């Protein structure tokens, strides 16, 4: 069991190394944007003021509050120090709300939308891929082209199509939001119904765009495994097909779990854009708001949350894979 | 004469290619193996040895198809039986198979013992796992395999160990006939010896009642089996005891095969072995006359067009050639 502990520790170490790099990039990238958010706020605050000295004073006040007057490296260390206290700064655009409070109200929506949707899409994709591999013939011929087609449509593109068809033309789904705009979030049945109603379009958009790619991967893995020597051997010993298929799909699933871990980041990124299109009250919409107003703290905060979420998922899946696949286990534990 | 364990009468099977062409891979093969005896099948690659093994098991799936002939195992005919029935009642219990590529014959993500549970449960669904384990441990011990192999994954075993494990797993239900398709061809000499020793033990202890051993290594056949038959292009060209075939081959093809063995002794270094030019004929369009005629150094015009009869001689020997025995012996003596 010493090997197992070493394996887990190694994964956790990598988790932290990646996290540090991510924090740095999350900090630096939004700040490279060529605009001055403090000037934007100042002009908003100083509306109607004609006294240049007063405007200058307001500008300097905000500069001090946001810390933009200090050199960027100093800003970074202040940022990290605050981060360790759970303080992600104050939003520029939604001043004086703190980024932490904005995100804490948004993250629930994102997780509740993306996690089930990705998992459902992943399971359905693997299921269809496995069936396509096992049945071949007609099923495969219809299913594969559709999968290839759908897997190449990005989530945001598909979101627009869904929106036009179901919300605009057919009018059976709302065009935007996470719940009816005239409601205040509470736990009444009416509110929950409204949430579920608004949930459908974004949810199915993500599910459908996830299915295609997963199905293609699972299909080829399954075909490979179905032709493996152990399948023939098991059959020649009289083991029933039902059992053999179980071996095959278990083995074909293992790379799919790794695949899920690898594509998690891309998927969530793409899905965030879909969130924006549906104006879903999640982190995607907040990132969009942040980018349009050069709101560094909000962008950094949002991307940091997403990064941490993806990192945790990836590390978990890696660990799971290492523990359930004896081949990975052997390779990892020996070294 | 012992009890006949397996008798095959004029068995014909074919492959159907993608373009719906028939390839007659096993063409009128007959043989029988008595209790406690073993039969070797020799021949170069592509002459139908492995196909014969698959055909004899009675479990046909595309592209291999049964055409005609009879397979009788211990008095019961299995030819024409439904594949699912064969799988349930014949494979594993009556006939067991050791595949050519035993390296990958075990599911990489399954412990050996779990696979054994599945094998036994396929035929005795109610047998408790505890009993199966006991049985397996006892059998492994008798075959000089370490017991802890049972709790390992196949990736953790060495090549030779894997092969011996496969043999033990195949014969766990004490089948009447064991078909070994080149069980030792991928192993080094030491592992080969262990494998052969194990197969002998299985026979001596009565865990298998008869054996068909397929290989291209003739010296091995001479050491392991009682009888040998030589296969060429889907047909049996000669049959006899191991000693007769190795030291006194009749058919020109057998003669050529035996001539290609190098016995390491003084002066053999740098010696050129007689090689038979050409390859076996394409069985989509088998030659009208003798199938070996195109490569046979003694062939005449007649050989190419006349059907070749099977000639029996001596004690249960046979060969398939137009020429008489004396004529052939005479020709060989001039070499």
Q: Before A96, cis peptide (omega within 30)?
A: yes
In a domain, residue A94? The reply is no
For residue A99, pLDDT beyond 70: yes
Between A and B, how many CB-CB pairs are < 8 A? Answer: 76
Share of chain B above pLDDT 90, in %: 26
CB A118 within 8 A of CB A272: no
Of B99, B109, B156, the CB nearest to A232: B99
Question: What pLDDT does residue A43 have?
Answer: 76
Residue A192 lies in a domain: yes
pLDDT at B175: 92
Please state, in angstroms and rounded to a whole number, the distance separating the CA atoms of residues B28 and A240.
Answer: 31
Q: Which of A236, A325, A326 sits opposite B57 (nearest CB)?
A: A236
Asked if A325 is an interface residue toward chain B (Cβ–Cβ < 8 A), one would say yes
Q: Based on the domain organization, do A179 and A299 belong to the same domain?
A: yes
Q: A72-83, pLDDT tens digit by residue?
A: 888 888 888 888
Looking at the fold, whether A12 and A154 belong to one and the same domain comes out as: yes
Selected residue of B51, B83, B114, B118 to mutate for chain A interface (largest A Cβ count, 10 A): B118
Q: Which DSSP string do the residues of A5-69 spell out, in sequence order?
A: HHHHHHHHHHHHHHHHHHHHHHHHHHHTSS--HHHHHHHHHTTT---HHHHHHHHHHHHHHHTTT
Residue A49 CB partners (closer than 8 Å, separation 6+): A55, A58
* Structure confidence at residue A335 (pLDDT): 46
DSSP 3-state assignment of B81? coil
How many Cβ atoms are within 10 Å of B83's Cβ, its own excluded?
A: 15
- For A239, the closest chain B residue by CA position comes to B122
Answer yes or no: is A261 within a domain: yes
Cβ within 8 Å of residue A155, ≥6 positions away: A205, A206, A209, A267, A270, A271, A273, A274
How far A231 CA lies from chain B's nearest CA (Å)? 8
CA angle A200, A203, A208 (to 5 degrees): 115
Choose between A275 and A45: higher pLDDT. Answer: A275
Cα B85 to chain centroid distance, Å, stands at 23
Low-confidence ranges of chain B (pLDDT < 50): none
Mean pLDDT of A284-301: 84
Mean pLDDT of A145-153: 84
- The candidate with the shortest Cα–Cα distance to A133, out of A243, A238, A253, is A253
Predicted confidence at residue A288, as pLDDT, reads 87
Residues A27 and A163 in one domain: yes
Q: How many domains does chain A have?
A: 2
Model pLDDT for residues A56-71, shown as the tens digit of each residue: 888 888 777 777 777 8
| Separation of alpha carbons A179 and A194, rounded Å | 5
Q: What local confidence, expressed as pLDDT, does residue A331 receive?
A: 67
* Contact across the interface for B122 and A238, Cβ inside 8 Å: yes
The residue with greater pLDDT, B129 or A90, is B129
pLDDT at residue B275, as a whole number = 73
Pairing of β B235-241 and β B210-214: unpaired
Taking a C-beta distance cutoff of 8 angstroms, is the pair B328, B321 a contact? Answer: yes
Residues A245 and A292 reside in one and the same domain = yes
- Please check whether residues A24 and A47 belong to one and the same domain: no
Query: What's the confidence (pLDDT) of residue B283?
Result: 82
Q: Please check whether residue A77 touches B, CB under 8 A.
A: no
Strand-pair partners of B218: none
Interface mutation vs chain B, best among A225, A232, A234, A236, most B CBs within 10 Å: A236
Q: Which residue in the set A237, A254, A330 is minimally distant from B119, CB to CB?
A: A237
- Structure-derived torsion over alpha carbons of residues B118, B119, B122, B127, reported in degrees to the nearest 10: -80
Digit-coded pLDDT (tens) for B181-240: 888 877 888 888 888 889 889 999 889 999 999 988 877 888 888 999 999 988 999 999
CB atoms B90 and A235 under 8 Å: no
The arithmetic mean of pLDDT across residues A278-296, rounded, is 84
Closest CA to A264 of A118, A126, A153, A93: A118
Q: Flag whether residue A258 sits within 8 Å of chain B, measured between CB atoms.
A: no
Which residues, 6 or more positions from B129, have their beta carbon under 8 angstroms from its beta carbon? B117
Task: Please report whether residue A248 resides in a domain.
Answer: yes
Domain identity same for A63 and A170: no
The pLDDT value recorded for residue B132 is 92
Pairing of strands B210-214, B22-34: unpaired
Residues A181 and A284 in one domain: yes
Which one of A231, A232, A238, A258 makes the best mutation probe of the B interface by having the most chain B beta carbons within 10 Å?
A: A238
Select the more confidently predicted residue: B172 or A51. B172
Judge whether A230 is closer than 8 Å to chain B, CB to CB: yes
Identify whether A99 is part of a domain: no
| Å between A220 CA and nearest CA of chain B | 18
Residue A96 inside a domain? The answer is: no
Question: What tokens does B120 get?
Answer: 């036994």
Element (H, E) at A325: none
Residues 6+ apart with CB under 8 A from A125: A210, A211, A212, A213, A214, A215, A217, A218
Contact B59 A233 (CB under 8 A): no
Compute the distance between CA of residue A179 and CA of residue A202 in angstroms, rounded to an integer: 12
- Best CA proximity match to B150, nearest among B104, B107, B112: B112
Helices then strands, each counted (H, E), chain A: 13, 0
Residues B97, A237: C-beta atoms closer than 8 Å:
yes
For residue B297, what pLDDT is reported? Answer: 86
- Asked if residue A273 belongs to a domain, the reply is yes
Tokens of B223: 């050491």
Looking at residue A332, its pLDDT comes to 63
Range(s) of the domain holding residue A67: 35-87
pTM: 0.77
Backbone angles phi, psi at B70, to 5 degrees: -130, 140
CA angle in degrees (0–180, nearest 5) for A83-A85-A90: 60
pLDDT value of residue A17: 93
Distance between CA atoms of B203 and B199, rounded to whole angstroms? 6
Same domain, yes or no: A118 and A59: no
Co-location of A207 and A116 in the same domain? yes
* Interchain CB contact of A232 with B (< 8 Å): yes
| A119, A230: one domain | yes
Domain with residue A150: its CATH number is 1.10.3720.10
**Same domain, residue pair A163 and A83:** no
Pair (A57, A138) in one structural domain: no
Residues B84, B30: contact at Cβ < 8 Å? no
Rounded to the nearest angstrom, the minimum Cα separation between A252 and chain B is 11
Residue A98 in domain? no
Please give the Cα distance from A199 to A115 (Å, whole number). Answer: 13
pLDDT, mean of residues A239-256: 87
ipTM of predicted assembly, 2 dp: 0.85
Q: Which residues pair with B312 in a beta bridge?
A: B318
- Beta strand residue intervals within B157-217, DSSP E: 177-181, 210-214
The CA distance from B128 to B150, in Å, is 17
């Amino acid at each position: 069991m010493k090997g197992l502990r070493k394996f887990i520790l190694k994964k956790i170490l990598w988790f932290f190394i990646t996290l540090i790099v991510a924090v740095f990039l999350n900090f630096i990238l939004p700040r490279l944007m060529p605009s001055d958010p403090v000037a934007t706020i100042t002009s908003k605050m100083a509306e109607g003021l004609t006294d240049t000295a007063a405007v200058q004073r307001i500008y300097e006040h905000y500069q001090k509050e946001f810390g933009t007057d200090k050199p960027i490296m100093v800003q970074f260390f202040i940022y990290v120090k605050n981060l360790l206290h759970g303080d992600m700064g104050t939003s520029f655009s939604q001043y004086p709300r703190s980024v932490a409070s904005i995100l804490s109200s948004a993250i629930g929506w994102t997780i509740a939308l993306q996690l089930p949707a990705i998992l459902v899409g992943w399971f359905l994709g693997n299921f269809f891929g496995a069936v396509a591999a096992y049945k071949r013939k007609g099923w495969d011929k219809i299913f594969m082209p559709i999968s290839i087609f759908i897997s190449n449509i990005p989530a945001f593109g598909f979101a627009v199509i869904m929106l036009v068809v179901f919300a605009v033309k057919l009018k059976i789904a709302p065009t935007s939001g996470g719940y009816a705009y005239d409601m205040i979030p509470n736990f009444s049945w009416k509110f929950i119904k409204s949430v579920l109603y608004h949930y459908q379009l974004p949810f199915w958009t993500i599910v459908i765009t996830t299915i295609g790619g997963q199905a293609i991967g699972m299909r080829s893995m399954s075909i490979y495994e179905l032709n493996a020597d152990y399948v023939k051997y098991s059959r020649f010993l009289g083991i029933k097909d039902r059992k053999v298929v179980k071996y095959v799909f278990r083995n074909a699933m293992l790379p799919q779990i790794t695949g899920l871990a690898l594509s998690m980041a891309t998927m969530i990124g793409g899905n965030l854009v879909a969130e924006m299109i549906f104006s879903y009250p999640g982190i995607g919409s907040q990132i969009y708001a942040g980018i349009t107003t050069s709101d560094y703290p909000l962008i950094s905060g949002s991307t940091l949350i997403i990064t941490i979420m993806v990192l945790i998922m990836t590390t978990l899946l890696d660990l799971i894979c290492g523990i359930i696949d004896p081949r990975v286990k052997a390779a990892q534990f020996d070294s | 004469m012992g009890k006949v364990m397996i008798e095959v009468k004029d068995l014909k099977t074919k492959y159907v290619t993608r373009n719906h062409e028939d390839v007659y891979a096993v063409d009128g093969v007959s043989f029988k193996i008595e209790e406690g005896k073993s039969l070797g099948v020799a021949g170069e690659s592509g002459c139908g040895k492995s196909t014969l093994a698959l055909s004899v098991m009675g479990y046909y799936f595309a592209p291999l198809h049964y055409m005609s002939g009879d397979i009788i195992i211990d008095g019961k005919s299995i030819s024409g039986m439904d594949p699912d029935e064969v799988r349930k009642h014949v494979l594993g219990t009556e006939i067991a198979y050791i595949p050519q590529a035993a390296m990958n014959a075990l599911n990489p993500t399954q412990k050996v013992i779990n696979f054994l549970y599945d094998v036994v449960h396929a035929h005795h669904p109610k047998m408790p796992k505890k009993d199966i384990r006991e049985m397996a441990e006892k059998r492994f011990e008798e075959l000089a395999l370490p017991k802890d192999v049972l709790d390992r994954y196949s990736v953790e075993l060495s090549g030779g160990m894997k092969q011996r494990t496969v043999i033990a797993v195949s014969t766990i239900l004490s089948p009447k006939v064991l078909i070994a398709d080149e069980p030792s061809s991928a192993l080094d000499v030491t592992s080969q010896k262990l494998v052969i020793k194990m197969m002998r033990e299985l026979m001596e202890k009565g865990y298998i009642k008869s054996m068909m051993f397929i290989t291209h290594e003739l010296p091995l056949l001479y050491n392991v089996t009682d009888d040998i038959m030589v296969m060429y292009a889907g047909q049996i060209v000669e049959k006899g005891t191991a000693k007769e075939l190795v030291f006194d081959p009749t058919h020109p093809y057998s003669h050529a095969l035996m001539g290609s063995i190098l016995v390491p002794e003084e002066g053999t270094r740098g010696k050129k072995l007689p090689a038979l030019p050409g390859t076996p004929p394409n069985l989509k369009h088998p030659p009208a006359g003798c199938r070996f005629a195109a490569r046979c150094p003694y062939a005449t015009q007649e050989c190419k067009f006349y059907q070749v009869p099977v000639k029996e001689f001596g004690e249960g020997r046979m060969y398939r050639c137009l020429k008489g025995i004396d004529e052939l012996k005479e020709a060989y003596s001039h070499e």
